[in-house]
């Protein structure tokens, strides 16, 4: 088919959905965002799409647990770079209980777990539309 998207085009679309989607969520709840969060959101959405593709037959709670782990891991790495190494102070979870270096905390890992449900639904619908 001439109108079929290439794998690269699909990844670009997924990246921008994640970048824009996360930015909208953060601005809605926090009042602002940072450009590094858009990049992180895009990258994470690509990873979550991959989880949905590879683990789509698993129960939703297992996919959400994997997704929350991925998001928390990426958030920790990005936080160590942008907050601790570069000193940009994009976020600081040090006031929360059960946090690590102020970059991740249990509360937000739980929120990522909950957010993964609708994300996996969107990812599945996109995959179905692309695969016919």
Instruction: Write out pLDDT tens, residues 60-80.
Output: 999 999 999 999 999 999 999
User: Do the beta carbons of residue 67 and residue 123 sit within 8 Å?
Assistant: no
Residue 26 counted as domain residue = yes
Number of structural domains found in the chain:
1
Residue 2 in any domain: the answer is no
Main-chain phi, psi angles of 105, to 5 degrees = -150, 160
Average pLDDT, the chain: 96
> Is 29 inside a domain boundary?
yes
Q: How far apart are CA 76 and CA 71, in angstroms?
A: 8
Alpha carbons 120 and 79: distance in angstroms, whole number: 24
Overall average pLDDT of the 80-93 stretch: 98
Bridging pattern class, strands 99-100 and 104-105: antiparallel
95 lies in which domain range? Answer: 7-131
Q: What pLDDT does 2 receive?
A: 58
b/e burial code for range 69-107 (CB count within 10 A of at least 16 → b): ebbbebbeebbbebbeeeeeebbebeeeeebeebbbbee
Whether residue 1 is contained in a domain is answered as no
Tens digits of residue pLDDT in 8-34:
999 999 999 999 999 999 999 999 999
Q: Assess whether pLDDT exceeds 70 at residue 1.
A: no
- Report pLDDT for 38: 98
Residue 64, domain member (yes or no): yes
Strand segments (E) across the chain: 99-100, 104-105
Q: Is residue 112 part of a domain?
A: yes
Whether residue 47 lies inside any domain: the answer is yes
Residue 106 covered by a domain: yes
What pLDDT was estimated at residue 132? Answer: 73
């Amino acid at each position: 088919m001439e109108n079929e998207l290439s794998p690269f085009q699909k990844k670009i679309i997924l990246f921008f959905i994640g970048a824009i989607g996360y930015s909208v969520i953060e601005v809605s709840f926090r009042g602002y965002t940072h450009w590094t969060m858009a990049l992180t959101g895009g990258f994470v959405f690509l990873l979550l799409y991959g989880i949905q593709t590879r683990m789509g037959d698993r129960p939703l709670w297992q996919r959400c647990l994997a997704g929350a782990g991925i998001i928390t891991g990426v958030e920790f790495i990005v936080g160590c770079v942008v907050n601790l190494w570069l000193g940009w102070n994009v976020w600081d979870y040090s006031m929360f209980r059960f946090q690590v270096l102020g970059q991740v905390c249990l509360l937000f890992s739980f929120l990522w777990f909950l957010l993964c449900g609708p994300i996996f639904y969107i990812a599945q619908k996109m995959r179905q539309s692309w695969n016919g």
